[in-house]
Structure 1
Amino acid sequence: MKKRVFIILFLVLQCNSTLLLAQTEPEEIKQDIDQFQEFFYESLLQKGIENYDKAIKALEKCVKLQPNNATVFFELGKNYLALKDYENAYNSFEHATQIDPKNRWFWVGMYDVSYETSNYNQALIAINKLIPFDEKYKEDLTSLYMGTRQFDKALNLINELNDTFGKTERRELYKMQILSEGKFQNVEESNLITQIDKNPKEESNYIALINLYSKNNEAEKAFEVTKKLAAAIPTSEWAQVSLFKVYLENNEAPKAINAMHISLASAKIDSKIKHRMLNEFLIFVDRNPQYSSDLEKAIAYFDNDNEVNVAKEIGKYYNSKKQWDKSIRYYEQALKNGSAEDIETNLLLLQAYTEVKQFELLSKKAMTMIETFPTQPQFYYYSGLANNQLQQFKKAVAILEMGLDYLVDDITLETNFNIQLGEAYNGLGDFKKKEVYFSKANELLKQKK
């Protein structure tokens, strides 16, 4: 919370003779006034040289002479505050406000003490008295609501101030903190919908609502807002999200691709929205393969995405469709994009090589992975399979037997190892060992059932 700094200009108030007893003689009045002024100026002198205790003693003499002089109590408060005697400081400022509640600086004194002692509930009393003097104190009130965890009041006040004075970075940070607690999101949703209706040309409200829906995985609602944005502000980068889908549905591929590139290049648009757009374009390209090169260009926007390896996910998409050549292309791209040592991607790639019978590539890649991950039995299996297919049976036996040492509790993989060892010994003409390994494979298959 940033404390408001105040420069207080003190004006010495003239003593009101009516505060003296009615029967005091003029000479006595003059004497009391002279004494008051002497003590008061003495207090100012001592405060100026930081002798706060002596200043307080002089002011206490002033109180005896003029017990209803608010300025004296105000000065007492300042001296007590300088000594960090917070209780007496607060009481003195409060006494001053009781005598003269219309003096803004007396309330400021109470606020200063409350702030220094982090007594935010107490500070609320003073700040609510200061707001009628200057509405800018509402900024302080927002911070106090945050400090006292009155988030509902803080959110309402933030929205009011945003509407009246425009947004500030601090208020937006407060709002993010509040909205991280889901129960306040309905309030913010209603507020943003109202703001959009009131100010349809203000892009930030649409974006805030889209982000709110995206964080809650309400993709359809987010898309509906982008449609409204596209209608209200067609030049908006966010509007391209909506236009992209419209163009795809109308089979206007060049326009859709252009809208997609604008959206994917934008730093404003949420990554979840971008991933959804790419998925929609992937489905479109699957039906219209002539735009495959545009898909590859789109994937490049996600090269630095730390959350999702987009090329890998597209490879898995084509994998599920048994389009092995396409899956290989995207797995290889995924590995180039910084996932060279990702075990899952490498295994998917090795299986795809197997499906298209690229055994030279399979052998080379599997051996590289064995060198990188010498305790991963899957890589030994693929290497043995490749060498069998290349009729390098002796090499296949050596690699497969080595890989068995790392195999633990995986019946399916153990079965496959034994089948490949049987194939290798068959190729070497050792039919006895061939039957041993095929028999082991059959026994393991029975266990699976």
Structure 2
Amino acid sequence: MKIKFLFSGLVLSGFLVFCPATMHAQQQEPDEITLTDVAFEEHFFEALKQKGIENYDKALQALQQCMELKPESPFLYNEVGKNQLALKHYTDAEAAFKKATELDPENRWYWQGLYDVYYAAQDWNRAIPVVQKLTKWRKEFYEEDLVSLYMYTSQFEKALALIDSLDESVGQSDKREMYRLQIMRQERFRKPKKEMLEEAIKKNPQEESNYLELIFLYSESNQEAKAEEVAKRLEKAIPDSDWAQVSLFKFHLNDNEGDKASESLFRVLQSEKIDLKIKHRAFNEFLIYVKNNPQYNNNLEEAISYFDDAQEINVPKEVGKFFYSKKDYERAATYFEKSLEAETDDIETVELLLYSFEASEQYKLLLEKAEYYLELYPIHSRLYYFAGFASNKLNQFKEAKAFLEDGLDFLVEDPELEAGFYNQLAIASEGLGDSKRSDSLKERAAKLLKQKKT
């Protein structure tokens, strides 16, 4: 009785649509009915158990015994399909799910199983009609998959039509937008789209989105002059369009029009409509421009101020890193100091600042700043190294020796830095007249570096 109770629960919660106690009752003796049903249930639950512990072959054996008793049960073929799919026997899984759909074509899950097979086998062409069938039950859910399948099979017209439909019914998505961009990179789609957008702009010159899409299409096909012309038309038609300035900013930079580029950049940075990522990208482009046009340093400073409240981006630090990578160490130091005004406890920026002073040979500043930050971070070994290095450069060998020996006490598993300490101690010892110790320290440093290489 317990087994039959459990089995009835499956009937209610799953997809089993028969009653073993009454099926074919007129053709069988009562004792045969009971024995058959009990045997069936035992085999079926054995199949479920074996599948649960991933013994798929044993599960299939149990299901075969079930099918000998109930050969036309679609749910049995569904279970066979699941086990064959788990074994990656795609042909057998396909056959099982197909049989299940033939026996019960209105059960969504049998079609889903068939789709799972085609998806696992990456058989996109055969997956498409199955997914089209599945849209009967969950239209927009499966249409999302259908877009991908059309893309995989290069059916771009169908994909684009479905993208437009979904954008209208459920709103845009990043994935569909990516697909749209891939499609629109093909010239056969661009030309009619451009013509359509030009006509749409004539009919409704106040619709900003048409200008933006047309600018993108021209830019993607390297027609920068036409893209710039559309951006200027947008600015004229909608003077308060912030998006027009995003495009115009790029064109002004390309034309080496620094003043106009600055004006457009500030419009972009002030806008509440434009995403922070786009603002940051525009700022980075301006930063590269200023590297070769230092007369716009003041404009760069003003642009940085727009990011003061951007918690996720430390713009002065990023600018400092940019100039540091270009070996413009003095400008790098300026921005690292500005960054530290906002984030005083950023030890990475402290080190970058000190490296900048070292590289630009500003040894007095290096010593001054190293000593200042040692007050804040008294166990940070690299600060002692900077202080010792700067003291050596200033011929203050006694002070250098004290800094370096103190710093060694806080050094933890950094062979390269440790070798640097010994080299600087060697210089300090030489400066203090202890050549023998100096030679010993140099040997020790060389040994550490050799070990690091091996």
**1:302: which partner in 2?**
307
CA contact (8 A) 2:214 2:227 kept: no
The equivalent residue for 2:58 is: none
- 1-side partners of 2:442 and 2:177: how far apart? 65
Residue segments in structure 1 that go unaligned for 5+ positions in a row: 1-120, 122-143, 162-173, 214-218
Cα pair 2:304 2:316 within 8 Å, conserved = yes
Could you give the per-residue CA deviations for residues 274-296 of structure 1, whole angstroms, max 9, x where no partner exists? 22322322232222222221121
Q: Secondary structure at the match of 2:242?
A: coil
- 1:230 matched to 2:231? The reply is yes
Which residue of 1 is the match for residue 404 of structure 2? Answer: 400
Change (3 A) 1:197 1:373: farther
After TM superposition, list the pairs within 5 Å mapping 1:167-316 onto structure 2.
175=171, 179=173, 182=175, 186=179, 199-200=200-201, 201=205, 202-204=207-209, 230-234=231-235, 235=239, 236-316=241-321
1:196-221 CA-partner distances (Å, limit 9, x unpaired): 567534225667999x99xxxxx969
Give the distance between the partners of 2:210 and 2:286, measured in 1 at CA. Answer: 27
Question: Kindly tell me: are residues 410 and 175 of structure 1, through their superposed partners in 2, closer, same or farther at Cα, counting changes over 3 Å?
Answer: same
Identity of aligned residues (%): 41
- Alpha-carbon distance in structure 2 between the residues aligned to 1:367 and 1:226: 55
Q: Which deviates further from its counterpart, 365-374 or 256-265?
A: 365-374
RMSD: 3.8
Residues 82-128 of structure 1: per-residue CA shift (max 9 Å, x gap): xxxxxxxxxxxxxxxxxxxxxxxxxxxxxxxxxxxxxxx9xxxxxxx
Q: Does the CA-based 8 Å contact 2:214-2:230 persist in structure 1?
A: no
Residue 442 of structure 1, aligned match among 419, 442, 446: 446
Q: Kindly tell me: are residues 209 and 345 of structure 1, through their superposed partners in 2, closer, same or farther at Cα, counting changes over 3 Å?
A: farther
Tell me how far apart the structure 1 counterparts of residues 362 and 348 of structure 2 sit (CA, whole Å): 19
Tell me how far apart the structure 2 counterparts of residues 426 and 439 of structure 1 sit (CA, whole Å): 14
Task: Name the CA distance, whole Å, in 2 between partners of 1:302 and 1:400.
Answer: 39
Q: Distance in 2 between matches of 1:221 and 1:407?
A: 56
- TM-score, L = length of structure 1: 0.53
Counterpart residue type for residue 301 of structure 1 = Y
Conserved? CA contact 1:248–1:256, under 8 Å? yes
Shift of 1:269: 1.7
Equivalent pair of 2:320/2:331 in contact (CA under 8 Å): yes
> TM-score, with normalisation over the residues of structure 2?
0.53
- Alignment of 1:342 with 2:351, yes or no, is no
**SS state of the match for residue 233, structure 1?**
helix
Distance change >3 Å, CA 206–CA 380, structure 1 → 2? farther
Question: CA, structure 1 residues 221+382, in 2 after alignment: closer, same or farther (shift >3 Å)?
Answer: farther
- Offset of residue 381 of structure 1: 0.7
Give the stretch that moved more between structures: 225-234 or 401-410.
225-234
- Taking the TM superposition and a 5 Å limit, the aligned residue runs for 1:49-448 are 159-160=167-168, 175=171, 179=173, 182=175, 186=179, 199-200=200-201, 201=205, 202-204=207-209, 230-234=231-235, 235=239, 236-336=241-341, 338-448=342-452
Taking a change above 3 Å as real, the CA distance of residues 304 and 443 of structure 1, as seen in their structure-2 partners, is same
Q: Secondary structure at the match of 1:307?
A: coil
Q: Is the 8 A contact 2:232 2:248 kept in 1?
A: no
In the alignment, the residues of structure 2 paired with residue 412 and residue 305 of structure 1 have an alpha-carbon distance, to the nearest angstrom, of 36
Larger gyration radius, structure 1 or structure 2: 1
CA distance in 1, matches of 2:253, 2:164: 40
Alpha-carbon displacement from aligned partner over 1:125-174 (angstroms, at most 9, x marks no partner): xxxxxxxxxxxxxxxxxxx988x88768998777557xxxxxxxxxxxx6
Using a 3 Å threshold, how does the CA distance of structure 1 residues 445 and 220 change in structure 2: closer, same or farther?
Answer: farther
Query: Partners of 1:295 and 1:223 in 2: how far apart?
Result: 29
Q: How far apart are the structure 1 equivalents of 2:411 and 2:222?
A: 48
- TM superposition shift of 1:420: 1.0
Query: Is 2:316–2:338's contact at 8 Å kept on the other side of the alignment?
Result: yes
Provide the C-alpha distance between the structure 2 equivalents of 1:206 and 1:419, rounded to a whole number of angstroms.
Answer: 63
Q: How far off its partner does 1:273 sit?
A: 2.4
**Structure 2 gap ranges (5+):** 1-107, 109-137, 148-160, 185-192
CA shift for structure 1 position 341: 1.9
Shift of 1:417: 0.4
Count matched residues.
284
Deviation at 1:317, TM superposition (A): 2.2
Q: Aligned equivalents of 1:358 and 1:400: distance in 2?
A: 19
Moved over 6 A (4+): 148-158, 187-190, 205-210, 219-226
Aligned equivalents of 1:307 and 1:204: distance in 2? 29
Question: How far off its partner does 1:356 sit?
Answer: 2.4
